[in-house]
A and B are shown apart, each in its own frame.
Chain A
Amino acid sequence: MTASTLHVPTAGPGAGDPVLEIENLSVDYGYTDDATHVLRDVSLTLHRGEVLGLAGESGCGKSTLAYAAMRLLPPPGLITSGSVHFTDRDGTRTDVLRQSDAELRASRWQDMSVVFQGAMNSLNPVFRIGRQIADGILAHRPRTTRKEALEQAAGLLEMVGINADRARDYPHQLSGGMRQRVMIAMALALDPQVLIMDEPTTALDVVMQRQIVEEIADLRERLGFSVVFITHDVSLLIEIADRIAIMYAGDVVEDARAQDVYRRPRHPYSSALLHSFPPLRGERRELTGIPGAPPDMQRMPPGCPFAPRCAHTTDVCREVRPALGPTALADRGEQEAARRVACHLHDAAAGRGGGSLPAGLAR
């Protein structure tokens, strides 16, 4: 996948170049031989200035992927293989997984920052919010005085639409939406290049959700950071994301431009997932839901993890795990060629112009 094939809205130096490249990342949950393999050889690239949506049912590994990329996965999480390359503004490329603890600590928050799910628990209940924003600044900018850091914190709060006086409040004095804004202000304190947002709107009501999403979009326009936006709400992603990666059972099953995923899903799971959410706007469609449940990660079937729930399962699906590759319709043009899907239907139909694909996956 090259930069030229992508339509990245934000212009600027280096826009469209990879900023975060996750390659063959595998993550175990547990340190013994019977550990659960929650991610298996996952690869994903985030480009500069892009909003990458990560979607899937709960437990599919989308949060795990983001946390592993930042090495924030709590015990007994264990990264067993792969690499996560971060490319700085000056082009320096570092493997986050090979950094020492000290290097990692120094680069955190300036390179990549994160907004967690459930903002109440993300804020230290015993410190004032201004102090919590300021301590991140002070840790990385040793020349800054405490007063300056607090002033910056107040400025950041203003930026996300919170009165600067509120910097002296404790987290419990703020509403859910305000706490989430505080988290966003905090995450942007050091002008990071990558912002990972883990279900930032889940606990909020719909109106607040919309406000926050618009806020993020607006800030990104102004500040030009890249976003990994994790959610199970695909319809929300279509609004905000440039590109969407659909995950299922610890694997990326489809990776394409947001509009393409939405209008022309290529993977049976993506298609099913889209049909289980009402779209926020646009054409109405039938809601169907997906029969069955995601597989038990402890006892993964050998073949395609989606096979037991898929309407188009063949023998090969039950035996061989499909790899992420081009779609069967890759000859339809540049955009289609840039898409990736992990499905045997496409392998089988490749070279035949996708003739054997089910109608729903060949639009």
Chain B
Amino acid sequence: MTHDVTLAEAEAETVTEMRVEHDDDPRRAKRFLFLRNGKALTGIGILLFFGILALVGPWIAPYDPNQVSADLLQPPTAAHWLGTDHTGRDILSQIIVGTRGVLVVGLIAGVSATILGVVVGVTAGFVGGAGDETLSALSNVFLVIPQLPLIIIIAGQLPTAGGVTVALVIGVTGWAWGARVLRAQTLSLRKRDFVEAARANGERTWRLVLAEVLPNLTAIIAAGFVGTVTFAVLSQVTLAFIGITPVSDWNWGTILFWAQNNLALQRGAWWWFVPAGLCIALLGMALTLVNFGIDEFVNPRLRSTGMNARLLRRRRIRPRIGFTPVLRTGPSPDRPTSEERS
């Protein structure tokens, strides 16, 4: 289950870096706070589910996804839970078997793009001068060129465009987004008083980057990783949908390709294209939820909304910036002031 391991590692890094930022946060002792976060847990749960599916998919799928049968274009039945396509192939099996392709591509692309983005972005933001000019020019070139058309052009001209190839193309073209955001943030951090102070104290550059700059970028790095994985999944599914990647490689986009080309919309065969799209959305949501979880872990101020809105109402708390709520549960028991008695 390679993808979950890597994700967990990325999160572990996030967790350790976070401590530095909120040194005076009394909650830092709660080591597993991240895992207590409902959103993150939900996200990780969904990812785990798809991860297991990717791993054991071919063995648990009820049918061979390529096996044609006499049940042509059947709506969901007991035999075919998600119905069949125009040649009687089982759609549930296609989705289960297709999970692996989606996750592998997302992960390879996400990891490679994140590494490239961090290296280029932080370096550019920190070194400044000619190095910065060169690196940001490079990321701008990659940013300006719309990725999806670029991938389409490359994939369209390649003799074969399999999953790993597509993943690498996405990774190599997709790091610039993260790099530019990270560069901008590094640049502004570099000017902040605390970094200036550390620099004035004669801190070494690499230590400055590791201890003062990177911890403050964790949220952006994490968001970038999640974003790239999401983008990679969407791109790959899109390429499959428009028929650029081999249609015999099952992934969720391939199912949609067959559905679109066999007029599933016009025939009202919703079971053909709705489940695959929902799976993509579910995976994307899981990634975003993990991102929210990381966010709330990073910034204790975000956490307040992680709690039950009903509880807030019951305790009559209205969390607002600039107007700290005051708890009023009847007169204060210890020492009521004169106004309170009146």
Contact = CB atoms under 8 A, between A and B. Distances in A.
A29 B322 CA distance: 15
Contacts of B311: 31-32
A59 B24 CA distance: 6
Contact of A98 (B300, B324, B335, B339): B339
B324 A299 contact: no
A120 B327 contact: no
A259 interface: no
B128 to A, nearest CB: 16
A120 B324 contact: no
A335 interface: no
Nearest to B315: A31
A31 B307 contact: yes
Contacts of A23: 335, 337
A24 interface: yes
B197 interface: yes
Among A38, A83, A98, A121, the one with the most B-chain Cβ atoms within 10 Å of its Cβ is: A83
Interface stretch (B5-13, B25-33, B39-47, B283-291): B25-33
Nearest to B322: A72
B304 A31 contact: yes
B169 to A, nearest CB: 39
Contact of A95 (B194, B325, B339): B339
B29 A76 contact: no
A58 B23 CA distance: 10
Contacts of A176: 193
A349 interface: no
Interface in B293-342: 300-301, 303-304, 307, 311-312, 315, 317, 319-327, 332, 334-335, 337, 339
Contacts of A76: 300-301, 303-304, 319
A126 B320 CA distance: 24
B26 A59 contact: yes
A170 B24 CA distance: 31
Given A75-B321, A203-B197, A298-B30, A32 B307 contact: yes
B-side interface size class: 20 to 34
A315 interface: no
B264 to A, nearest CB: 48
Contact of A78 (B191, B324, B332): B324
A247 B300 CA distance: 24
B192 interface: yes
B26 A104 contact: no
A182 to B, nearest CB: 15
A29 B303 CA distance: 11
Given A59-B26, A76-B304, A71 B323 contact: yes
A78 B29 contact: no
A324 to B, nearest CB: 14
B184 to A, nearest CB: 13
A80 B329 CA distance: 9
Q: DSSP majority for the A interface? A: mixed
Nearest to A76: B304
Given A59-B26, A298-B30, A72 B324 contact: yes
B193 A95 contact: no
Contacts of B315: 31
B337 A68 contact: no
Nearest to A296: B29
Interface in A41-73: 41, 58-59, 67-68, 71-73
A173 to B, nearest CB: 12
A97 interface: yes
Q: DSSP majority for the B interface? A: loop
A22 to B, nearest CB: 12
Nearest to A96: B326
Contacts of A74: 301, 321, 324
A36 interface: yes
B144 to A, nearest CB: 26
A297 interface: yes
Interface string A291-322: 00000111100000000000000000000000
A23 B339 CA distance: 14
A73 B320 CA distance: 9
Nearest to A70: B324
A244 B84 CA distance: 80
Contact of A120 (B24, B193, B303, B322): B193
Given A72-B324, A298-B30, A299-B29, A118 B193 contact: yes
Contact of B304 (A41, A75, A118, A203): A75
Given A71-B324, A73-B324, A203-B197, A81 B300 contact: no
A82 interface: yes
A77 interface: yes
Contacts of A32: 307, 311
A256 interface: no
Nearest to B323: A101
B193 A80 contact: no
Contacts of A98: 326, 339
Contact of A75 (B26, B319, B335, B337): B319
Among A29, A78, A95, the one with the most B-chain Cβ atoms within 10 Å of its Cβ is: A78
B317 A78 contact: yes
A73 B327 CA distance: 14
A238 interface: no
Contacts of A120: 191-193
A153 interface: no
Contacts of A101: 323
A196 interface: no
Contacts of B322: 72
A79 interface: yes
5 contacts: A74-B321, A80-B327, A172-B191, A176-B193, A297-B26
Interface of A: 23-24, 29-32, 36, 38, 41, 58-59, 67-68, 71-83, 85, 95, 97-98, 101, 104, 118, 120-121, 172, 176, 203, 296-299
Given A38-B26, A78-B327, A297-B26, 13 more contacts: A31-B304, A31-B319, A41-B334, A58-B24, A71-B324, A74-B324, A75-B301, A76-B303, A79-B325, A120-B191, A172-B191, A203-B197, A299-B29
